[in-house]
Amino acid sequence: MQKKFITNLFFLLVLNLLIKPFYILGIDAEIINRVGADTYGIYFSLFNFSFLFNIFLDFGINNFNTKNVAQNEHLLSKYFSKLFSLKLLLVLAYVFFTISAGFIWGYSNYALKLLLMLAFNQGLVAIILYLRSNLSGIQMFVKDSMISVLDRFLMILFCSVLLWGNVTDRPFEIEWFIYTQTLSYTITLFVALFWVWQKSAFVKIKYNHLFSFAIIKQSAPYALLILLMTFYYRSDSVMLEKLLDDGSRQAGYYAQAYRFFEAGNMVAYLFSVLLLPIFSKMIKEKQVLNGIIDISFKMMFSGAIILSVLCFQFGEEILNWRYHDLSHQSVHLFSVLMFCFVCISSTYVFGTLLTANGDLRVLNLLAGSAVVVNIGLNLLFIPKWQALGSAVASLITQLMVSIVQIIISKKKFDIRTTFIGFTQFLCFVFGVLSISYLSYFYVSNWVLAMGVFVLSSFAFASFIRMIPIKRMMYIVRNE
């Protein structure tokens, strides 16, 4: 299993590092420059608002499906047509509740029009994610990896034509961005459906209300977890837009920093995509988990620390390079959000481990507490510090969640922390901070300084075995 994890992770990382950073830093950031912080702030707030009712899109079916198909592959053929029909009904329910909530929230007709298009796109994404849950459940990680980047690859093509292809004299409109998403998601959905259909003996849609009710009942704990996590992940920009007089602009500044955070988060999320079916199968077969937990956490933590320190040290240079209308506040936001990334990266290992073990009650209690803490801190900090207050609230919330998940995982799976291991972590953090300082102040060109920092940090991580390259090569060759 460790060999499967390492080889597929490498393939997944290569694909995503080729596509997604360019999409976020090239396409998405350029769109912010073209339409302006105010307009993009409205879009960003609506985009996050469209996530708040994702419980109706998924209802926990994806995680439930991945876990169960990984443990019993024959369930794919048995349940696929029924679950697919249930997904379509959930999409309709989601669109209805999202638009109704937007109307009650007081959005304008223009905002509701954008929200409807975004809700439709979220429905397409939900079906794609369900199809991917089947591919990962039956361990078809290569095809799952290809689907994970296909939509972004298509968006890069379509948006590049609109941004730089001289096909129109009109200024770029935010609606065009949404239309390219719709087209890209639709194509991706049909490709994923074709691959799953080959393995599922899917003939036609079969809705069965008794089956649907039973599945919803079983997946309800997963649904509640997704709902709670969505609220403390996505409520920040929505609250910013409503609590402040210049809320749209503040949400736009938040989005400038958040886009870089999201680029890192997309890569970190790939670990959980691979780890959930692997953990589930290993737990069922009562295999020893310590090895894969150790490798995955060290890799995740090392990458997260290097990225967050990079963004802290070179934040102003990076943001000035990418954005025209840059607020000084965005630089501080950037640093805080990237340290959130360190906390979130640990949840992609330990939160996934607890999910695979079926510890939904514990995860839901923790997520519910996080919602209360996050909303309370946002109400307290946003009026004082504006968008920065929202970022600080996120950092405190994510730190709390990650610490508790690690403590629970250590107790449940008897994960032991040795003095040598703890010293290794401290040494790594101190070393990376020292390298960042030396690179920033002793290398004159900031781009060259960043390159020196990244290469030196990864070399240092390998030297002290935070990224155990020799061990991973041995596993790939000999397992």
**112: pLDDT confidence band, cut at 50, 70 and 90?**
very high
Which pLDDT score, from 0 to 100, does residue 241 have? 76
Check pLDDT > 70 for residue 239. Answer: yes
pLDDT for position 121: 96
Across 373-390, average pLDDT:
91
Q: And the tokens for 423? A: 């010293």
State the Cα–Cα distance between residues 217 and 461, nearest whole angstrom: 45
Return the pLDDT at 368: 93
Range in 269-283, 297-311, 329-343, 422-436 the model is least confident about: 269-283
More confident residue, 73 or 259: 259
Q: Return the percentage of the chain with pLDDT > 70, whole number.
A: 89
- In this predicted model, which residue has the larger pLDDT, 248 or 366? 366
| pLDDT digits 0-9 by tens, 194-238 | 888 877 665 566 667 777 777 777 777 877 887 788 777 777 877
On the question of pLDDT at 474 being above 70, the answer is no
Q: Which of 406, 367, 85 is nearest to 228 (CA)?
A: 367
- pLDDT band at residue 156, thresholds of 50, 70 and 90? very high
Work out the burial of residue 240: count CB atoms within 10 Å of its CB; fewer than 13 is exposed, 13-18 middle, 19 or more buried.
buried
Cα–Cα distance for residue pair 415/290, rounded to 1 Å: 7
- What pLDDT score was predicted for residue 375? 92
DSSP collapsed to 3 states, the chain? CHHHHHHHHHHHHHHHHHHHHHHHHHHHHHHHHHHCHHHHHHHHHHHHHCCCCCHHHHCCHHHHHHHHHHHCCCHHHHHHHHHHHHHHHHHHHHHHHHHHHHHHHCCCHHHHHHHHHHHHHHHHHHHHHHHHHHHHHCCCHHHHHHHHHHHHHHHHHHHHHHHHCCCCCCCCCHHHHHHHHHHHHHHHHHHHHHHHHHHHCCCCCCCCHHHHHHHHHHHHHHHHHHHHHHHHHHHHHHHHHHHCCCHHHHHHHHHHHHHHHHHHHHHHHHHHHHHHHHHHHHHHCCCCCHHHHHHHHHHHHHHHHHHHHHHHHCHHHHHHHHCCCCCHHHHHHHHHHHHHHHHHHHHHHHHHHHHHCCCHHHHHHHHHHHHHHHHHHHHHHHHHHCHHHHHHHHHHHHHHHHHHHHHHHHHHHCCCCCHHHHHHHHHHHHHHHHHHHHHHHHCCCHHHHHHHHHHHHHHHHHHCCCCCHHHHHHHHHHC
Per residue in 56-72, pLDDT (tens digit) is 787 767 766 766 666 66
- pLDDT interval class at 364 (50, 70, 90): very high
Cα-Cα-Cα-Cα dihedral sign, residues 206, 211, 216, 222: negative
Lowest-pLDDT range of 202-211, 278-287, 428-437: 202-211
List, for residues 321-351, the tens digit of each pLDDT value: 877 767 777 788 888 988 998 999 899 999 9
Lowest mean pLDDT among 61-65, 90-94, 298-302, 472-476: 472-476
13 pLDDT higher than 80? no
Q: Which pLDDT band, with edges at 50, 70 and 90, does 162 fall under?
A: very high
The predicted structure's pLDDT at residue 24: 78
Instruction: Give the per-residue pLDDT at 5.
Output: 61
Q: What is the pLDDT of residue 271?
A: 78
Which long-range CB contacts under 8 A does 153-161 form with residues at least 24 apart? 153/19, 154/180, 154/183, 154/184, 154/187, 154/188, 155/23, 155/27, 155/180, 155/181, 155/184, 156/19, 156/22, 156/23, 156/26, 156/27, 158/183, 158/184, 159/27, 159/31, 160/27
Please determine, for residue 470, whether its predicted confidence score (pLDDT) is greater than 70: no
CB 60 within 8 A of CB 226: yes
Q: Please choose, from the candidates 62, 69, 84, the residue with its C-alpha nearest in 3D space to the C-alpha of residue 137.
A: 69
**CA–CA separation, 135 and 192 (whole Å):** 9
Query: What pLDDT, on the 0 to 100 scale, is given for residue 428?
Result: 94
Q: Which of 435, 189, 217 lies closest to 305, judged by CA? A: 435
Question: What are the sequence ranges of the domains in the chain?
Answer: 2-416
Mean per-residue pLDDT of the chain: 84
Looking at residue 280, its pLDDT comes to 83
Q: Which two tokens stand for residue 359?
A: 């510890």
Q: How confident is the model at residue 174 (pLDDT cuts 50, 70, 90)?
A: very high
